[in-house]
Amino acid sequence: CPTLYAAGTIDGAFVWGGVMESMKGLGATMMLVPAKMLSDWEKATFNTISVRDAFAADHSVVVERIAGVVARLDADYLDEDSNLWDPQDATDFLASVASAYGDFPASPLPAEREAAADALALFEFVDPTAMQGSDYLGGGTAAALRETADFLYDIGRIASVAPADRDDVDALYVDTTTAQFLEDGLIAVGVDVLGADDDLNLATIPEDADSICSGTVDLTATGTLSDGATVSYSNNLACEWRIASGGVVELTFTVFRVWTGDVVEVFDGSALVAKLHGFDRAWPPLRTTGDMTVKFTTDGVTERAFNYVLTDGWSATYDAAASACDATYCGAHGTCGASGLCTCDAGYGGADCSLATCLGTATLTSPTGEFRSSPTAPDRAVPYPNSAECHFVADVGTSFGYVSFTITYDVEPTFDFVSANSGDVTWARLSGEETTTILVPTTDGKASLVFTSDSRGRRGGFRATYVAKSVACASNADCGGHGTCDDGGTCVCDAGYGGLACTVPHCLDGAPKVTGESMVVVSQAPGEPVPAAADCTWEFQATAGRSVRVVVETLDLEPKRSDAKEGDRVVIRSTGATDIELTSTSFRKSYDVASSGISLSLETDRNDVDKTYGGFKATAYAVDACPVVGGNCTDQGFTCELTSGLQGPGCYDGGRPVGCACVLTGCPVGSFFDESTGGCEACPPGTFKSAAGPTPCEPCPKNFYAPESGAAMCCRHGYVLVDGFCRECGENVANYTLKGATCDAPSGTTVATLEIEQGYFRFSPDTTFLYPCPEDDNACRGSSPAAKGYGDGLCYTHAHGPLCMLCEEDYFRDNKMLDAPSKCVSCDRTGVQLRQLYTVLLMIVLWALVILGIRRLQSRFERQWFMAVLIQCVYFTVTMSRFVSIHQVPLPPVSKVFMRAFDVIAFDLSSLHSLARCWGWVDNYFNFLLWVTLVSPALLLVFVVGAVVRAVSRVACSATAPPQNALAEEGAAAEAVPLHRRVAAAVRQDLGGVLSKWMLLISLFHSAICCAIFQIFNCTAEYEPFGRSFLMYDYSIQCSGRTYGAYRAYAIVCAVIYVTFPLCLFLVLWQPRRLEPAWQERSKDPRHVDDGALAFLTKNLKTEYWWFEVLAIFLRSLVTGFFRHLGIKMSIVISLIITIIHRTVVLQLKPYASSGLQHVVEALMRFALSIVLVAVCLVGDLITEGDNATAIVTFVFLLNLSCLPIAYQAFVSESYRSVAQRLKARQHVKFEELEALLESAHAEAVREDVRKVSRDILKEAFRGTVSEQDWTYFTNNLLALEGVWAPEVHAEEVLQWHVESMLARAKKAGGDGGAIDAGAVERSVDIVVGPLGETLMEQSLSPSKAYEQLASPSRAGNAPVTLERVYAEVLSPFFQLDDGKTQKRWHSRKENPVLHLATMARTKSDKISTSLANLHSPPKSPTSPSSFSLSRRSLALSGVPSARSLLRQELEEPDADAPTREENLASGMAHLRRAVRKITIARVFASPRKPLRLERFMDLSLIAHDYNQRAQARIAGTAEGVLAEPRGDDVKALESFDNGTDQPALRSAELVAFKDKVGGAALESELDASVCVGALHDLANAAFPAFRAALAKLFPPGTEGIELECDADVAIKKKTRMRAKVDEKSREGAPWPRAEKLSDCLRASVVVEGAEHVVTAYEALAKGDGPFKVVRLKNKLAERAKPFNLHVNLAFQPPAPLAPLIVEVQIVPKAIYNDQKAFHRLFSIAREPKYASFRGVRARAAEASPEAADDGGDVEAPAALPPGRHARVAPAPLQSLQSFFGRSRRPG
């Protein structure tokens, strides 16, 4: 009725009182009251007739008629004389009532009519006249209706007794209620109306109708849908139609009459399009994209009219191929979308947006938008429809994690709702009237609102705007003023506030799931009421295997009266368990749930009947699961805590909560329930109670006693009564540490009379906390009859203090070496002191001997290796010694001796405590802390001062000032060096070594220093009963007070300094690597990063792991007590983790460059891990004391001593030795193996070995004796070692071996030593210096400029300007110091080149001046025997003039006046004196300037260039021999000619027109490189078979003296080479298409025996009767020009339809062909001036293989390079001979 009333279908109704309230809310103001019903709740409810004011005014007769009939029925029923209600009369009203409602057959039996009469008797019919009185029910009809509303409100069926906008509720009922129609109607309706005949003859209301729809029907195209009924549809239908379509489906209803409770639903996929019901409703058309689903469902209620036939049902037409929308279709309230459907404005619905209310699903995809239930919502003047369901989807995309809805709503409270959803989760249900903001997380980028209304009551609706957000909150302002935004972007709400944005002052349906240890649940904010009609749910998940305890703090809810939503309740739910219901009467405060996950739900009814409740507050804790599911607490040996523990009342195992069942109502053990006090009282002495519960205390049995009250049991001998329980003496149980106590007193033992054993200590007579004294100390003697049984009474003589660990004045604690306990010894016993002192001194001597022995080893490799091992052993012993000491590991005797030895080896200064105490140096730990932390800076100061004093004294002792520049040429005037510069140089020389030694000492003992600092945090546990703790290192210091706090602060500062010391080292090492340009590329050469004083940290590591030793220092400092303040066990466990990490890093990274050192470190790390594991087992009691522990620990220690033979084996098996031997034997070594060694300490030695082998291979390549296997190994493996060839060294170190050959080539190129011109200089560059030419240009050392300087008038002299002098001028700067940057490296005297000078002087005294010129050549590597090969060393020592001498000789101009013998002698003496002075200065000063540098690869490239030049000369000689043969003149007679070699296929006007059409000049290069080259390459591919066949026909296999070389991979020119040639033509300015100049897209080589066959082969090609026609000939053989062959271009006509091609054939004498192989191999090395360019060529060759094998043969270099071009040719990879012969550019 309310639905029909709201829809305007009806204007009045005869309804029940509950519906009356809804009708009143809809504006039904005139209500007729016909009866009063007695309900089961003994409250009066009423049936009412509710009509609109307008209907009553317009149709008062109708209202009177209805009211009159009802009044007549009431009056007749009350009339005792009426016979209409007789159950015995089968024709009267009762029979009609019985049959009409379907309870009985159409002709009810008397019994059935009796039942109907009994049902009517439940109603109290009221006389109509009485109802009109003002005193009716104490206030008239209005009062009766108010009472009904109050009753409905009381039972929670309605949210309020009147609309929210009415303040005076009573006035509402008076104003809107009247019984006047009853009186008027009673007059208008006569009595005879009840006796009138029934013209309808209605016997019953039909229970079903005639529908035929059922199941699912699939439809397509167009058609009609209906419910299938003729008159009325049936009950309980479930029909479905699916309309398939690939486009737009439109559904239009033609008839629609569907009762409330029945519904027609339309879906687009899973999205609701519409949910419809109503009578004669005109619904707009509905549309979907794709398939449409229509569902029709009905309930079991039959709705039919009594007085006339009313047809119900629906029908509709559908079109599965409807046209898409347009602007006209969507009208004024929508826009046509891309999908073909209209997007309606907010509040409008329907396919054409014509319905002024929401309908189905509305989706917006923008980040912001608006939704409404109707266009004007919220507006009560235009209320929303009943039974509505609308979905509003904000599809903001997955880039947003949240959607914030701001909702203004006015909906019927607790009946209609606006829900905020994410996926299937409802986060909030809003009802009533309010504006709020709800934040919802997105699911697949979507969040939605759902608006639902019931079948009664309407309000104004809602309006919502939304904004997409990436995070829940960015600041506290986003948390609604009732929460804070945490670092994760989530609001943490204040207690009682709901929603992700904390905007609602009560809980909501959804809340984020909480995992972890606890969750707090609050139903509403302070001062707020319990939310009505709520279904708040909180979820809590503990970790797997645990259970949950819910502790209730507040449970103040409306009492629960029934299961029909009357009252409030809380339900605890968990999987597989029965729900636990909590109501206002629940008294328990703690609930254990045997599940790791629970949900708490607060379910409330619609109102709290004008009362305010405190709500619900609880905390869910994660507790340990009960060992037995559902087990009893006490059965499991646990304790039930009646008062709240940390996790509330419940079961506890000590302090650990356990989820076992507890009885929380009885008294605990040792107490009984005292009715007089109403509580639990302790059992009196002599009685006990051993179980919780209401049982009384019992007396003790015989021979047992309970001397104190509150006993849980009576004790026998061997036990002591503590806190009411018997505790066994000699054992530690729970919080009672009685190990070390005996209980043998005849009359029983109390706490005060405990006897303490030797080795144990307690502080008070009333404590049961006994503490073991240190095992290595015997000061604790135990109880004595003559002394008190606690404190100092337990100590031996001269000992006192906590655990008897302090000695009296003038006594010290003797730390013995062997396994004998320490004790207090008098300072008068000097022998003990001397023993300790001698031990330390002996270790110092032994260390000195070890170091001296290592330094005297002959091999540098052995010295470095053993020194590195020694450093690692010191690291290990210091760290492990301090680890065991600070963690007080109780080692067995043998292992303890072993660790004591470690202490001595590692210079444990605690061994000198006796001297320090007795002599007053260090009397407590605080002084020791100061001494340890300040000795390092003091030592540094001493070192620096010593270095300065030494330097000053050395300078002061020098007789004369040495020359300022030790590198001045002979004859230069010596200048006096200022004193301050001499002092600075001397200090700089010594300071590096001083700093290096100091840094080494600090790093070696860094962990010991840190351990001493960490001792201040190493406090004992708080000793009971005083709660005081002491410093374990010094028991005279309490860990409290101002003094301790001050030193603790100092220690913290020191800890920060020393613990971050490795970080400082890291930064110092990292800084030059960060600043070094291109360090990544040169990282394999450690000489490029000089670490100075910190080199000891990096020199034994691989380059990329330069940081590892710093990390190791840091990790070792953590192991030596950094975490000691967390407790011994925790610190040891963390140390174990750190050690495992350290060892894992060592094993995985293998950071040490030496494989032998790596093995040693691995062994030491295994030993360290074993010690830490032993500590874990001993401290954690995994290994108990006794023989087993001794055997196990001793075995572990002895097993780890295997590190010694492992270290020796690692030394013997050092991988460098094997590699060096194999390289020397010319056995191939894997590339990976060499790469690994280049990162080792032997990198320089490996580099020189590789270079020597490479030089030998180049020599063999020149001789033609190298095997293909060796050459491949050389190019692919040895030349791939970037660490060998890429490092830059002093240029002199490279060039000194090539100056002689360069000058020789210059002399040869210059002719007979005559004068030259600039052109000759330009042409000579490539021949003379080869790959060095590019470097000369980079350094501005151009030979042309040198020539101009020598030829200038200022330099003109007697001697002519020769090429030798030009190149001597060019090369001389490489042998002098540049005026550039200062050197970064300090050279020690050992590295000074003076040593080289001395060697040279001993060899030949007359070469001393030449050697002095070499004084500042770069030092030899300290890791290799020589920087050069033995042959080069022999050359240096043989007296052959050096590079400097040769250059000087060339630069000196001849003197017309030859010096006399005396003048020569005087000059020699002067040179000798200057040399001596240079030696003196060189020993003091390092080079202040940086010389020029070259790559090591330049050395190899120059060697290859020299061999290459000689190979070319040899090839030229071979060519002369061929021409000298009998038919040589015929070869010479073949003249070169050129008839044009443009490719015919590309000479096309159409091609040019195509180019102009698609882009013109802008696309010339692209078309040339892609289209033209591609077409030419494809044509060559297609023509190749015919080309090879035609040549094979001319030169068949087996032809005498002629061989054809025509393989496809070489014969067909590759695209990359073709494009390169096109680019070159483009740079030369050739016309387009430049690809037509490619005359060698197909090529072949003809290898012949001699001159005769050269002529024969050419004549065969030149016949012209086949597919070939010669168009060009280059007779390079006759012209004696490279490459000494006949270069023939032919026009080749392949089979149709292929276009003709210009091809190339080279005719080469076999002698030249074979000799060119050596030239080609050498050229592949000599042509590259830098290693990077060489590797680039190799890389490009690898990437483009086999394409990179292609070398063009159509480019011809001039005989001499043009001006400005020097020795730099386009790089080409090393490939086959055919490819090589295709090159006519002048190589190298």
Residues 623-661 have pLDDT tens digits of 999 998 888 898 888 988 876 678 888 899 988 999 998
**pLDDT score recorded for residue 1117:** 87
- What mean pLDDT comes out for the span 985-1007? 80
Structure tokens at 135: 């005193």
Whether the Cβ atoms of residue 1179 and residue 887 lie closer than 8 Å to each other: yes
DSSP string, 1673-1684: EEETTTTT-TT-
Ramachandran bin of 859, using left for φ above 0, alpha for ψ from -120 to 50, beta for the remaining angles = beta
* pLDDT classification of 676: cutoffs 50, 70, 90: low
Decide if pLDDT at 429 tops 80: yes
Whether the Cβ atoms of residue 529 and residue 614 lie closer than 8 Å to each other: no
**pLDDT score recorded for residue 1422:** 30
Return the half-sphere exposure (C-beta side, CA atoms, 13 A cut-off) of residue 1737: 24
More confident residue, 1487 or 1235: 1235
Q: Whole-angstrom Cα distance, residue 586 to residue 567?
A: 14
- What mean pLDDT comes out for the span 1691-1714? 87
1240: closest CA among 1119, 1156, 1130? 1156
Ramachandran bin of 1023, using left for φ above 0, alpha for ψ from -120 to 50, beta for the remaining angles = beta
**pLDDT score recorded for residue 1046:** 87
Residues 46-90 have pLDDT tens digits of 667 777 777 777 778 888 888 888 888 888 888 777 777 877 776
* pLDDT classification of 802: cutoffs 50, 70, 90: confident
Least confident interval from 70-84, 119-133, 667-681: 667-681
- What mean pLDDT comes out for the span 1155-1161? 80
Whether the Cβ atoms of residue 1089 and residue 1075 lie closer than 8 Å to each other: no
Decide if pLDDT at 730 tops 70: yes
Place of tokens 């990490």: 1141
Decide if pLDDT at 1765 tops 60: no
User: In sequence order, which residues have a C-beta less than 8 Å from that of residue 234 and are 6 or more positions away?
Assistant: 208, 209, 210, 211, 298
Give burial (CB, 10 Å; 0-12/13-18/19+) of 1631: exposed
Place of tokens 């707020």: 528
Least confident interval from 447-461, 595-609, 1120-1134, 1383-1397: 1383-1397
Q: Whole-angstrom Cα distance, residue 805 to residue 157?
A: 80
Residues 133-180 have pLDDT tens digits of 766 766 777 777 777 777 667 666 677 777 766 777 888 777 777 777
Within 10 angstroms of residue 300's Cβ, the number of other Cβ atoms is 9
* pLDDT classification of 1086: cutoffs 50, 70, 90: very low
- What mean pLDDT comes out for the span 807-815? 77
- What mean pLDDT comes out for the span 991-1012? 82
Within 10 angstroms of residue 1753's Cβ, the number of other Cβ atoms is 26
**pLDDT score recorded for residue 345:** 93
**pLDDT score recorded for residue 518:** 92
More confident residue, 1071 or 397: 397
* pLDDT classification of 974: cutoffs 50, 70, 90: very low
User: In sequence order, which residues have a C-beta less than 8 Å from that of residue 1288 and are 6 or more positions away?
Assistant: 1082, 1088, 1493, 1494, 1495, 1496
Angle at 148 between CA 144 and CA 149, to 5 degrees: 115
Evaluate the omega torsion of the peptide bond into residue 1393 and state whether it is cis, within 30 degrees of 0.
Answer: no
Q: Whole-angstrom Cα distance, residue 1227 to residue 1124?
A: 56
* pLDDT classification of 371: cutoffs 50, 70, 90: very high
Residue 757 one-letter amino acid: E
Residue 1203 β-bridge partners: none
Whether the Cβ atoms of residue 1446 and residue 1299 lie closer than 8 Å to each other: yes
Q: Whole-angstrom Cα distance, residue 172 to residue 179?
A: 15
- Greatest mean pLDDT range, 117-121, 715-719, 1407-1411: 715-719
Q: Whole-angstrom Cα distance, residue 14 to residue 712?
A: 76
* pLDDT classification of 9: cutoffs 50, 70, 90: low
More confident residue, 485 or 1518: 485
Determine how β-strand 725-728 pairs with β-strand 334-336: unpaired
pTM over the 0.85 mark: no
- What mean pLDDT comes out for the span 1513-1533? 86
Decide if pLDDT at 1588 tops 60: yes
**pLDDT score recorded for residue 353:** 94
Least confident interval from 2-16, 220-234, 347-361, 577-591: 2-16
**pLDDT score recorded for residue 1395:** 30
Rounded to a whole number, what is the largest CA-CA distance in the chain?
176
Determine how β-strand 671-674 pairs with β-strand 1643-1648: unpaired
Residue 1541's SS3 state is coil
Angle between helices 1187-1200 and 893-905 (to 10 degrees): 40
* pLDDT classification of 305: cutoffs 50, 70, 90: very low
Whether the Cβ atoms of residue 1564 and residue 1632 lie closer than 8 Å to each other: yes
Give burial (CB, 10 Å; 0-12/13-18/19+) of 1465: exposed
| Cα–Cα distances in angstroms (integers) from residue 973 to residues 836, 976, 1412, in the given order | 63, 10, 16
Decide if pLDDT at 1587 tops 80: yes
Q: Whole-angstrom Cα distance, residue 1346 to residue 1768?
A: 20
Residues 1315-1354 have pLDDT tens digits of 688 888 888 888 888 888 888 877 777 888 888 888 777 6
Phi, psi of 319 (to 5 degrees): -135, 110
Residue 585's SS3 state is coil
Q: Whole-angstrom Cα distance, residue 561 to residue 921?
A: 85
Whether the Cβ atoms of residue 555 and residue 584 lie closer than 8 Å to each other: yes
**pLDDT score recorded for residue 408:** 95
Cα-Cα-Cα-Cα dihedral sign, residues 1521, 1522, 1526, 1532 = negative
Least confident interval from 391-405, 662-676, 773-787, 1036-1050: 662-676
More confident residue, 349 or 902: 349
Residues 1227-1276 have pLDDT tens digits of 777 777 777 777 766 777 778 888 888 888 888 888 888 888 888 888 88
Within 10 angstroms of residue 210's Cβ, the number of other Cβ atoms is 13
Q: Whole-angstrom Cα distance, residue 1101 to residue 1110?
A: 11
**pLDDT score recorded for residue 106:** 57
1298: closest CA among 1492, 1451, 1447, 1514? 1447
**pLDDT score recorded for residue 1390:** 32
Whether the Cβ atoms of residue 369 and residue 394 lie closer than 8 Å to each other: yes
Ranges of H-type helices in 1372-1419: 1394-1403, 1408-1413
DSSP string, 455-519: SS----EEEEEEEEESSS-SSGGGGTTSEEE-TTS-EEEPTT-BTTTT-BSB--S----EESSEE
Structure tokens at 185: 């109607």
Structure tokens at 1092: 């100075």
Q: Whole-angstrom Cα distance, residue 362 to residue 393?
A: 6
Least confident interval from 186-200, 203-217, 910-924, 1655-1669: 910-924
Least confident interval from 73-87, 302-316, 863-877, 1669-1683: 302-316
1372: closest CA among 1413, 1409, 1408? 1413
**pLDDT score recorded for residue 1455:** 45
Give burial (CB, 10 Å; 0-12/13-18/19+) of 202: middle
Residue 516 one-letter amino acid: G
Phi, psi of 1597 (to 5 degrees): -55, 140
- What mean pLDDT comes out for the span 528-539? 90
Q: What rounded mean pLDDT belongs to the chain?
A: 76
**pLDDT score recorded for residue 374:** 93
Decide if pLDDT at 809 tops 60: yes
Residues 1536-1584 have pLDDT tens digits of 888 877 888 887 777 777 877 777 777 777 887 788 888 888 888 899 9
Structure tokens at 573: 């739910």
Decide if pLDDT at 699 tops 50: yes
Q: What percent of the chain has pLDDT over 70?
A: 76
